[in-house]
Structure formats: C-alpha cells, structure tokens
C-alpha cells in the first residue's frame, strides 16, 4: 500500500504531488517500454525524484505499476460512477419502461465514448492499457481490473441488454451482444491508427469525439430498438 509523508515530514499535499508525478511518468514509460523495459531508476529520473523517494511511496516497481492501474480505474469511475449507479437503480425496477432501459444503456455508452477524446495523457493511457490488456503487466493487475471495474460494468450492461431482449443476463447470446455493442467505442482506441487513417484525421479532438458519439449512439439506439422488436416475435 502506498504511504504518505505526514505534515511534519514535509506536507501531505507536497507528498501527493510527488506521488502523482511519479505515476504520470510511470504510465508513460510503462506504456512505451513495457513493465520489464521501464526501470524504477528511469521512472524516478523522469519524475524528477530520486530512487529512494519512489521506493518510499510505492515500495517497488510492482507497486508503481499497481498504482498506475488504480489511477486509471479511479479516473474511469469519475466518469462512470453516476451513470452506473443510475443503471443499477433502473435494473432494480421490475416495471421499468423499455425506452428507459435503452436510454440508460446509451448514457453508459456515451460515458465510454468520452474516453476516446485525445488529451495530453491520452496516448500514455492507450499504450499502458494496450499492454495491460494483453497480459504484459505483473501478476494480479488483471484481477484488480476485473474486481474493481469490469465485473460491475459488465453486470450492469448485460443486465440492461438482457432486460431489453427478454433473455437472462448470463445467457451467452446476451453476453455476446453486450460485448459487441460495448466494443464499438473501444475500436476508436485499440485500432486508432486505422481509424484516423480511414477518416483522414490527425487526432480526435473534442468536436470529433462528439461526432463519433452522435453516430455511435444513434446506431446503437437503432440496434436496441430492433432487438426490442425482435423480442416480441420470440426470434431472439
């Protein structure tokens, strides 16, 4: 667990700033070089601290990496916590209207799409997460992502798709449909080079992100409406 200096030792705020600076450098270097390729000395130098300072806050390289994962998880929840909680409330309403289920799902998808927007940290996040999702991080980090992020989001989204289609949330067809719909936004991050080349864009600024959001949400609404209609025919 990360430790913090007390006020008497130099100030909690300054300690937090140092810790944040180390995480920012680590995200970039782990993304560029991988877990094995980025040394604690390199990270400390990039962050403008000495190696003992890094060890003080994170113990070792695994601790720094885990802090990077937790940092990204926290940023995701800043964006998605409210819509996830609202969706969970909706799923607890047995008589919730179908259109409200669809609107709730689209709100969540809109939150996912927000993360494709380019920012100064966007490239570092993409490279880091690409390596992490490929299993190149230290042991336990993928389980951390599952426990703190993926299970809850997956439970909510499969629950909504299940209600819309009339199938159980755990049904294979429900899971496949949910993964397919959710992954639309991921394409703009994972296959970013191909996407930018196809669109003739150099980057995805806020205006372009809103255009992507408009198209994907409109397309998804049509898909969910079609699934709703198919539910009535019993062909799902």
Q: What pLDDT is stored for residue 42 in this prediction?
A: 95
Would you state the pLDDT for residue 186?
A: 84
Q: What digits encode the pLDDT tens for the residues 96-137? A: 999 999 999 999 999 988 887 766 677 788 889 889 988 899
Tens digit of each residue's pLDDT (9 = 90 or more) over 186-203: 888 878 889 999 999 998
Q: Is the pLDDT of residue 234 over 80?
A: no
| Residue 159 burial (CB count, 10 A) | 22
66-231 under CATH 3.40.50.620, yes or no = no
CATH 1.10.10.60 residue window(s) in the chain: 18-58
CA neighbor of 58 nearest in space, from 45, 72, 44: 44
> To the nearest 10°, the Cα dihedral for 182, 183, 184, 189?
130
- CATH 1.10.10.60 is right for the domain spanning 18-58: yes
Residues 70-83, mean pLDDT to the nearest whole number: 92
Contact between 147 and 164 (Cβ < 8 Å): no
State the average pLDDT for the chain: 89
SS3 content of the chain, % helix, strand, coil (to 5): 80, 0, 20
Choice between 175 and 115, residue whose per-residue pLDDT is larger? 175
Question: pLDDT (tens digit, 9 = 90+) per residue, 5-61?
Answer: 444 444 445 788 999 999 999 999 999 999 999 999 999 999 999 989 899 999 999
pLDDT tops 80 at residue 75? yes
CB contact at 8 A, 33 and 61: no
Q: Does 3 score more than 50 pLDDT?
A: no
Mean pLDDT calculated for residue range 142-163: 95
Coil/strand/helix, residue 82: helix
How much is the pLDDT for 133? 86
For 152, the token pair is 């809850």
Instruction: Give a three-class secondary structure readout of 7-52.
Output: HHHCCHHHHHHHHHHHHHHHHHHHHHHHHHHCCHHHHHHHHCCCHH
CB 156 within 8 A of CB 178: no
């Amino acid at each position: 667990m990360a430790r913090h200096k007390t006020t008497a030792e130099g100030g909690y705020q300054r300690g937090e700033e140092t810790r944040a600076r180390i995480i920012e450098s680590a995200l970039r270097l782990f993304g560029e070089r991988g877990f094995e390729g980025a040394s604690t000395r390199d990270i400390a130098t990039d962050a403008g601290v000495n190696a003992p300072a890094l060890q003080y806050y994170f113990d070792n390289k695994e601790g720094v990496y885990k802090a990077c994962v937790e940092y990204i998880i926290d940023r995701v929840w800043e964006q998605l916590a409210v819509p996830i909680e609202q969706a969970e409330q909706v799923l607890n309403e047995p008589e919730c209207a179908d259109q409200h289920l669809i609107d709730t799902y689209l709100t969540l998808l809109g939150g996912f799409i927000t993360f494709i927007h380019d920012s100064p940290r966007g490239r570092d996040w993409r490279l880091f997460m690409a390596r992490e999702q490929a299993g190149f991080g230290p042991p336990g980090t993928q389980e951390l992502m599952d426990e703190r992020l993926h299970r809850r989001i997956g439970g909510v989204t499969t629950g909504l798709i299940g209600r819309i289609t009339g199938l159980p949330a755990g049904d294979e067809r429900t899971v496949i449909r949910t993964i397919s719909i959710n992954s639309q936004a991921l394409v703009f991050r994972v296959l970013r080079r191909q996407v930018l080349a196809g669109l003739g864009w150099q980057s995805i600024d806020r205006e372009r992100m809103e255009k992507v959001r408009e198209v994907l949400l409109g397309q998804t609404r049509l898909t969910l409406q079609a699934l709703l209609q198919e539910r009535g025919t019993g062909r799902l």
